[in-house]
């Protein structure tokens, strides 16, 4: 299709979505948003590294520059133009840097808006330690976990009514008088919100998490929820998740209860164990027993908390990758925000966006290029050639600018 203010590369071929996967040419067109704030630094750095990894494996990426946030306001006078959405829909696989949602923008979050508009329902965040990255825990290598966070529901799709408005009083009256929950809400000013969690949204996320565990030889999938308090949303997430495990996977999956009741804890070979944990308790197990957990599946808000906490244990969000997955669609993005005070200083750490690109390559089936990126990043960091955020935490080493760090990784490739 034609675009208003976006240049489509004259060379390159389109990635096609086929049978739950992708048909990827050796010269794909890949859309990229550099992002706001430090995106002006880390976006080009990541683009350079990903291009080098593709070239080193006999391929060529044809980048298609897209715009959202500040760059879109300059180009389109809006935050999320249709050009950007349509390009991601047409070319199926892309990557973006962090975006800042300005006050009064009409969106709660541009990141959330992109995920919802493109129906990227699974936010996937692998958490693993890279040699040389300082960590606040004694054994960061004990964590090798992949978080599947539902992207389209929960409080991020919630409806809220502002305190002091006629609407919030109507809701209060409905809850107290018509629904029979009198004396539930304190007198005086109140803000009220509701959150949806659906069978459809839950099951497709849990299905995706179990499929990942089976395809990648992972031992378990843990459903994270606050169902002991929220019986009809979070507990229902757990119940619907177990329905998927029990009804759709046969002998490939066994639930934790069945495992202990019928097999005394002896896990059958090539079987994924599905269990569940309360969200607040899981924050404890992340610290005390990270090696016992492989894949986590959870509603949106729990996924935000848990994945950030997991990222802290392996060195922080500056190195934490992520990707948003839909049916036949991938949009990779780093976990961290836009850090505007560091924008344009050529000092931010681009590792998270680079490793998000690696995750994009994994989805494309470019395992060789993905491994080259990992090895090159680890080689730079383990040799103490790092950006300022890591350099200030280690003894010795060489402090590199964002662009210099990208060059070091390219040299390693």
The token duo for 156 is 């991020």
Question: Taking CA 322 as the corner, what is the angle to CA 39 and CA 235, rounded to the nearest 5 degrees?
Answer: 130
Query: Residues 86-128: pLDDT tens digits?
Result: 999 999 999 999 998 776 556 678 888 999 999 999 999 999 9
Query: Residues 186-237: pLDDT tens digits?
Result: 999 999 999 999 999 999 999 999 999 999 999 999 999 999 999 999 999 9
pLDDT score recorded for residue 105: 56
Query: Residues 255-298: pLDDT tens digits?
Result: 999 999 999 999 999 999 999 999 999 999 999 999 999 999 99
- 400 half-sphere exposure, CB direction, 13 A CA radius: 21
Q: Where in the sequence is the domain holding 201, given as residue range(s)?
A: 138-145+154-158+195-313
Query: Residues 290-336: pLDDT tens digits?
Result: 999 999 999 999 999 999 999 999 999 889 999 999 999 999 999 99
Strands (E), 56-118: 62-65, 93-96
Binding annotation for D-threo-isocitrate: 109, 111, 115, 125, 149
Name the catalytic one among 304, 362, 385, 389.
304
- Shared-domain flag, residues 207 and 289: yes
Question: Residue 73: inside a domain, yes or no?
Answer: yes
Name the residue among 211, 207, 167, 214 with its Cα closest to residue 191.
167
pLDDT score recorded for residue 395: 94
Question: Residue 179: inside a domain, yes or no?
Answer: no
- Residue 226 falls in the annotated catalytic set: yes
- Residue 280 falls in the annotated catalytic set: yes
Phi, psi of 37 (to 5 degrees): 55, -125
pLDDT score recorded for residue 106: 62
Identify the domain boundary among 313, 344, 368: 313
Helix or strand run (H / E) with residue 262 = helix 256-263
Query: Residues 367-390: pLDDT tens digits?
Result: 999 999 999 999 999 999 999 999
- Shared-domain flag, residues 205 and 292: yes
Q: Quick check: 213 and 286 in contact, CB under 8 A?
A: no
- Shared-domain flag, residues 294 and 201: yes
Report CA-CA distances (Å) from 336 to 83, 319, 331: 25, 8, 15
Domain containing residue 93: CATH number: 3.40.718.10
pLDDT score recorded for residue 410: 98
Radius of gyration of the chain (CA): 22
Question: Residue 184: inside a domain, yes or no?
Answer: no
- Residue 181 falls in the annotated catalytic set: no
- Shared-domain flag, residues 217 and 113: no
Question: Taking CA 112 as the corner, what is the angle to CA 106 and CA 115, rounded to the nearest 5 degrees?
Answer: 125
pLDDT score recorded for residue 181: 87
Name the catalytic one among 67, 76, 121, 156.
156
Name the catalytic one among 96, 116, 195, 226.
226
pLDDT score recorded for residue 104: 56
Query: Residues 37-80: pLDDT tens digits?
Result: 999 999 999 999 999 999 999 999 999 999 999 999 999 999 99
Phi, psi of 50 (to 5 degrees): -65, -40
Binding annotation: 100, 109, 111, 115, 125, 149, 304, 349, 388, 392
pLDDT score recorded for residue 330: 98
- Shared-domain flag, residues 57 and 77: yes
Q: Confidence class of residue 182 from pLDDT cuts 50, 70 and 90? A: confident
d(CA 106, CA 404): 38
- Shared-domain flag, residues 92 and 45: yes
Report CA-CA distances (Å) from 407 to 45, 46, 94, 138, 385: 8, 10, 22, 31, 11
Tokens 């470019």 -> residue: 366
* 137, pLDDT greater than 60: yes
pTM of the predicted structure, to 2 decimals: 0.94
Binding annotation for Mg(2+): 304
* 14, pLDDT greater than 90: yes
Name the catalytic one among 26, 131, 257, 280.
280
d(CA 249, CA 234): 23
* 185, pLDDT greater than 60: yes
- Residue 304 falls in the annotated catalytic set: yes
- Shared-domain flag, residues 3 and 130: yes
Binding annotation for NADP(+): 100, 349, 388, 392
How many structural domains are present in the chain? 2
* 350, pLDDT greater than 80: yes
- Shared-domain flag, residues 339 and 296: no
């Amino acid at each position: 299709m034609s675009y208003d203010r976006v240049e489509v590369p004259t060379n390159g071929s389109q990635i096609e979505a086929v049978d739950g996967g992708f048909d990827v040419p050796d010269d794909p067109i890949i859309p990229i948003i550099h992002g706001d704030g430090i995106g002006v630094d880390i976006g080009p750095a990541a683009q350079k590294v990903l291009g080098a990894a593709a070239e080193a494996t006999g391929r060529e990426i044809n980048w298609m520059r897209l715009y959202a946030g500040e760059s879109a306001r300059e180009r389109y006078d809006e935050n999320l133009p249709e050009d950007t959405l349509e390009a991601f829909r047409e070319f199926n696989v892309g990557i973006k840097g962090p975006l800042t949602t300005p006050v009064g923008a009409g969106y709660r979050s541009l990141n959330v808006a992109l995920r919802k508009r493109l129906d990227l329902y699974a936010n996937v965040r692998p958490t693993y330690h890279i040699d040389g990255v300082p960590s606040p825990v004694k054994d960061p290598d004990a964590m090798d976990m992949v978080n599947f966070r539902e992207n389209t529901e929960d409080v991020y799709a919630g409806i809220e009514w502002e305190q002091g408005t006629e609407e919030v009083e109507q809701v209060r009256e409905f809850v107290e008088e018509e629904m029979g929950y009198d004396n539930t809400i304190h007198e005086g000013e109140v803000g009220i919100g509701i959150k949806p969690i659906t069978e459809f949204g839950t099951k497709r996320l849990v299905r995706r998490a179990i499929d990942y565990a089976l395809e990648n030889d992972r031992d378990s999938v843990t459903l994270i929820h606050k169902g002991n308090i929220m019986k009809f949303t979070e507990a229902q997430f757990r119940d619907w998740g177990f329905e998927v495990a029990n009804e759709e996977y046969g002998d490939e999956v066994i639930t934790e209860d069945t495992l202990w009741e019928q097999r005394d804890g002896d896990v059958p070979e090539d079987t994924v164990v599905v269990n569940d944990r309360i969200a607040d308790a899981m924050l404890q197990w992340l610290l005390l027993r990270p090696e016992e957990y492989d894949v986590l599946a959870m509603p949106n808000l729990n996924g935000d908390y848990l994945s950030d906490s997991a990222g802290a244990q392996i060195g922080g969000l500056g190195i934490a990758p992520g990707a948003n997955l839909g049916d036949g669609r991938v949009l990779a993005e780093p976990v961290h925000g836009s850090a505007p005070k560091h924008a344009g200083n050529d000092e931010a750490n681009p590792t998270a966006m680079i490793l998000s690109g690696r995750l994009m390559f994994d989805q494309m089936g470019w395992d060789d290029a993905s491994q080259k990126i990992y090895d090159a990043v680890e080689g730079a960091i383990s040799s103490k050639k790092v950006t300022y955020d890591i350099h200030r935490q280690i003894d010795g080493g060489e402090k590199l600018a964002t662009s210099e760090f990208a060059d070091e990784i390219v040299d390693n490739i």
